Amino acid sequence: MHGSAAPPGAISDSKRQLIVRHAREHFVSVGYAATRMEPIAREAGVSTATLYTLFTGKAALFTAVIDDAAEDFARQMAGVRAIEGDARSTLTSFAEAYAAFMGDPFVRSIFRLVMAERPRFQAVALRFFEKGRDEFGATLIGVIVRLSQAGELRPIDHPSWAAGHLMGMIEHPVFFVPLVTGDEVRVRRTNAEVVAEAVETFMARYGA
């Protein structure tokens, strides 16, 4: 038994969000298998009955945590709108924001969690990765198309490929290297140096 359940409609959105945020900390710190529902309920200040009213079990709570993280990332990227200007300054603006986001240790921790549990939650993982790709890629593709139409970049037949080139040059040093090494190996270049080199290489390939 989990105690007496809260009446329908009595659980506020803010309380649900609090549960999800506490659950996120548990899943990230100890993984899916070791996470228990009772401590999460206690830390969120709700009964286990209330927790199970909102989430039928740990799998449902995990799904909510990953979907919430994806929404968090989308909100962050919604604020990344490259400045109006020439190609170099516009791309640098985007690249700096992207490097800061991908270099965030918390972002890596969520990606590690999704990767570790992907065999068990394939649909959740796929939804998470596709949302991130769409949020990041769509913004940059739009910038590249605009700059190409303005004559700041060469005519580009496949702007999605060009976007992938720029993002890949940033992702590898600031995200994938620490991701696969557990943060034990860090690239010596600063984010600013990574961005400058990536934009320079991109402009050499696509600049008008």
Residue 7 included in any domain: no
Residues in the chain: 208
| Contacts of 190 by beta carbon, 8 Å cutoff, 6+ apart | none
pLDDT beyond 50 at 161? yes
Q: Are residues 50 and 76 in the same domain?
A: no
Residue 5 included in any domain: no
What pTM value is reported for the model?
Answer: 0.70
pLDDT beyond 50 at 2? no
Separation CA 37–CA 142 (nearest Å)? 43
- Higher per-residue pLDDT: 6 or 98: 98
pLDDT at 58: 93
Q: Are residues 69 and 46 in the same domain?
A: no
For residues 130-150, average pLDDT:
85
Measured in whole angstroms, the distance separating CA 197 from the mean position of its chain's CA atoms is 23
Q: Are residues 47 and 143 in the same domain?
A: no
Measured in whole angstroms, the distance separating CA 80 from the mean position of its chain's CA atoms is 13
Q: Name residue 153's beta-bridge partners.
A: 207
Q: Are residues 41 and 84 in the same domain?
A: no
pLDDT beyond 70 at 64? yes
Residue 163 included in any domain: yes
pLDDT at 141: 92
Residue-number span of the structural domain to which 150 is assigned:
65-206
For residues 71-88, average pLDDT:
72
User: How many domains does the chain divide into?
Assistant: 2
| Contacts of 205 by beta carbon, 8 Å cutoff, 6+ apart | 162, 165
The model's confidence at residue 46, banded by pLDDT at 50, 70 and 90, is: very high
Q: Are residues 17 and 77 in the same domain?
A: no
pLDDT at 92: 92
Q: Name residue 207's beta-bridge partners.
A: 153
Tell me the one-letter amino acid at 60.
A
Backbone angles phi, psi at 50, to 5 degrees: -65, -40
Q: Are residues 31 and 97 in the same domain?
A: no
**Residue where a domain terminates, one of 23, 55, 87:** 55
Q: What's the CATH number where 176 sits?
A: 1.10.357.10
pLDDT at 185: 56
Q: Are residues 25 and 71 in the same domain?
A: no
pLDDT at 187: 61
Q: Are residues 123 and 165 in the same domain?
A: yes
Q: Which candidate, 172, 176, 174, places its Cα nearest to that of 192?
A: 174
> What's the half-sphere exposure (Cβ side, CA atoms, 13 Å) at 83?
10
Residue 4 included in any domain: no
For residues 62-79, average pLDDT:
80
Q: Are residues 43 and 91 in the same domain?
A: no
Q: Are residues 79 and 24 in the same domain?
A: no
Q: Are residues 96 and 70 in the same domain?
A: yes
> The tokens 């993984």 sit on which residue?
31
Separation CA 208–CA 191 (nearest Å)? 26
Measured in whole angstroms, the distance separating CA 137 from the mean position of its chain's CA atoms is 12
pLDDT at 77: 67
Q: How many C-beta atoms surround the C-beta of residue 45 within 10 A?
A: 11
For residues 114-122, average pLDDT:
81
Q: Are residues 70 and 144 in the same domain?
A: yes
